[in-house]
Amino acid sequence: MNYETQLKDWLLSEPIRMSALKLVADFFAENEVQDWYIAAGFVRNLVWDKLHDAPASELKDIDVIYWCHEETSIYRDKLIELALTERVNLPWSVKNQARMHKKNNHPAYSSCLNAMSYWPEKQTAVAVKLDENDQLVIDSVFGLETVFNLTVNYNPKADESVFMKRVSSKPWFNNYPRLSLEL
């Protein structure tokens, strides 16, 4: 199976996800931000839903990440969330990765993909965006097989206690019974 082709087909069949991608692409194009994605559960949960023959999960939050070193205040992220919500009322969660290293006690991130390389579980470090021609671009720091193989793996760059807390607090294993935990 070609994981990228499969994932693109699944995304294209999801009108809400595609409209969210288009909205964010247009917003960041207007604001001249090129390093952005919608990441984490937006992509991961879709794959796990499909591999479990389940309908697409409700979007409880849409993790919009971007990297901009010029303005790193949380206030800017909140303004972007508000602007997106005014266009489409969805559960936006916007984070500038140029500041998130401070919260996580990591070295400064140099890009969205570099920031994702520190996320606690490998399966969450998968992201999608639309390019300037409205074509899907999928990036996964650890490879798409990590999300397709139905495991949850600890990322050694992350704090193991944060990983374990996420594993115990997320409903992943209830929602996706074929998942397995691999440390």
Helix (H, G, I), strand (E, B) or coil at 57: coil
Q: Which pLDDT belongs to residue 75? A: 96
pTM equals 0.95
Tokens representing 96 are 């500038």
Helix (H, G, I), strand (E, B) or coil at 3: helix
Q: Which helix (H) or strand (E) holds 94?
A: strand 92-96
Phi and psi at residue 130, to the nearest 5°? -105, 135
Q: How far apart are the first and last CA of the chain?
A: 25
pLDDT digits (tens, 9 = 90+) for 26-75: 999 999 999 999 999 999 999 999 999 999 889 999 999 999 999 999 99
CA distances from 175 to 6, 7, 54, 55, 130 (A): 21, 20, 9, 11, 29
Distance CA 61, CA 69 (A): 24
Distance CA 174, CA 96 (A): 31
- Is the confidence at residue 104, as pLDDT, over 90? no
Distance CA 70, CA 155 (A): 29
Side-chain-side CA neighbours of residue 59 (13 Å): 21
Q: Which pLDDT belongs to residue 42? A: 98
Per-residue pLDDT band at 103 (split at 50, 70, 90):
confident
